[in-house]
Amino acid sequence: MTITQCILFLIALGMGLLALAVAISGFRPIWRITFWKKKEKKSPIKENLLAYPGKTIMERIEDKSLDSLFYGLLLVFMPVLSWLVYSGLIGNRLGRFSLFYCGGFTLAVTGAGCLLLRKRFRQLRDWRFGLDAELAVGEELNKLMRHGFYIFHDLQADGFNIDHVIVGPPGVFAVETKARAKIVGRGEEGAKVLQKGKVLKFPNGFDRESIPQAENEAKWLADFIRKSVGKDIPAQAVLALPGWYVERGPHDGTVLVINPKSPERFFTKRQITLDDQTIQQVVYQVEQRCRTIKPFDPF
């Protein structure tokens, strides 16, 4: 490849990047330079919006999907770029043996990129599976609002998030959602999970982490309420397993493990422990913590 060809290739690449930048600016302006004066505009929504079910997972999926797209394009064009570099800069100077080294380097980089990208896509698949579970649980828990409960989603804690928070006359509940796939062909037995203490026994294995995680989240929420409201209000830990039939064996009862379908049966018949004033105080603090979505300003 001659110098002229290299220059033309770079010019063509620059034109493509410029065209992409102009197209993207239709969604969000990349630069503020204009040839005429525009009137300033802003979003009419003044306060942050409440988080929705699965917000944290959705943000991970969006971020990693864009990264994966870039890495995928780089993986596709890596052999082409290597050949262009070899033809224009290496081949004529280092001789025929340089083709072997350049080809080996290209194969090694491409292979490593393929494995890393495959791992990324498997991670995206697991997150997408978990997102469905959080959305399903959120839809079910929202039914409790008909009975005077307040439901919040994706409360940001210190380095982690609580999937759902329920506040109502029976108290405060921290709900952790876990998605677990079923094995095809097992029938009813393949849809049962047995709770034994802090261990969940599924048909295809044991889960020793989810119940302690739910306990820790409930402790953090109770501590947050105590510091912000000034009252010692316990938070009940709840573990939601959408699509599973839960059998309870001998256990310590600190975590309520449920299938969130028809949640009224688990929460509406409990003893009333909070008065209206306390409920409003807790709701205000939790709501402020959940208002994490900034209004979109396209101008």
CATH number of residue 244's parent domain: 3.40.1350
Integer CA distances (angstroms), 207 to 55, 94, 147, 178, 288, in order: 24, 58, 33, 10, 33
Residue 185's domain comprises: 146-293
Residue 266 forms part of a structural domain: yes
Output the pLDDT for position 35. 47
Residue 172 forms part of a structural domain: yes
Asked if residues 220 and 158 have their Cβ atoms less than 8 Å apart, the reply is yes
Mean pLDDT of the chain: 84
Quick check: 80 pLDDT over 90?
Answer: no
Residue 64 forms part of a structural domain: no
Residue 72 forms part of a structural domain: no
Residue 220 forms part of a structural domain: yes
For residue 221, what are its two tokens? Answer: 């929420």
pLDDT tens digits, one per residue of 84-116: 666 665 555 555 556 666 667 677 777 777 888
Residue 223 burial (CB count, 10 A) = 14
Domains identified in the chain, total number: 1
Q: How confident is the model at residue 252 (pLDDT cuts 50, 70, 90)?
A: low
Residue 55 forms part of a structural domain: no
Q: Which residue has the higher pLDDT, 179 or 65?
A: 179
Q: Which residue has the higher pLDDT, 186 or 37?
A: 186
Quick check: 31 pLDDT over 70?
Answer: no
DSSP string, 114-153: HHHHHHHHHHHHHHHHHHHHHHHHHHHHGGGGGGT-EEEE
Output the pLDDT for position 145. 96
Alpha-carbon distance 235 to 220, whole Å? 9
Alpha-carbon distance 226 to 141, whole Å? 24
Asked if residues 173 and 235 have their Cβ atoms less than 8 Å apart, the reply is yes
Quick check: 155 pLDDT over 50?
Answer: yes
Q: How confident is the model at residue 45 (pLDDT cuts 50, 70, 90)?
A: confident
Which of 175, 173, 170, 174 lies closest to 269 in space, CA to CA?
170
Residue 175 forms part of a structural domain: yes
Residue 174 forms part of a structural domain: yes
